[in-house]
Amino acid sequence: MFSQNLKYLRNKHNMEQIDLAHKLGRKSASSISEWEKGKYTPKMQTLVEIASIFNVNIDDLMGEDLSSDKESKPKNSFETIAAHLDGDLTEEEWQEILDYAEYVKSKRNK
């Protein structure tokens, strides 16, 4: 779902792949192309940056069809926390946070 959402959001904002690459501090659009093809998924810090650029909820970016006409959800507390911790956590620590969030979510849905 991420690859489709990325391409949708980029086009919705009239942004070329190279424009997004530059916003993410990259010199070329090759990573953006690979992500949109579904070959790779960026690291957590980059996902947070992408969600921020397009002002979308990171959970929606990863798992919802953003091209549908649903209203956007407000930013969640995870994005608020991520904005304050940006750069202070390792990729493994981000993954621990995501794993714990999934655990809490799964308990809530039971």
CA 91, 92, 96, 98 torsion: positive or negative?
positive
CB 18 within 8 A of CB 28: yes
Supply the pTM of this predicted model. Answer: 0.61
Residues 6+ apart with CB under 8 A from 52: 79, 83
Domains of the chain listed by start with CATH number: 2-108 (1.10.260.40)
**pLDDT band per the 50, 70, 90 thresholds, residue 103:** confident
On the 0-12 / 13-18 / 19+ scale of CB atoms within 10 A, 22 is middle
Mean pLDDT of the chain: 80
- Quick one: DSSP state of residue 75? P
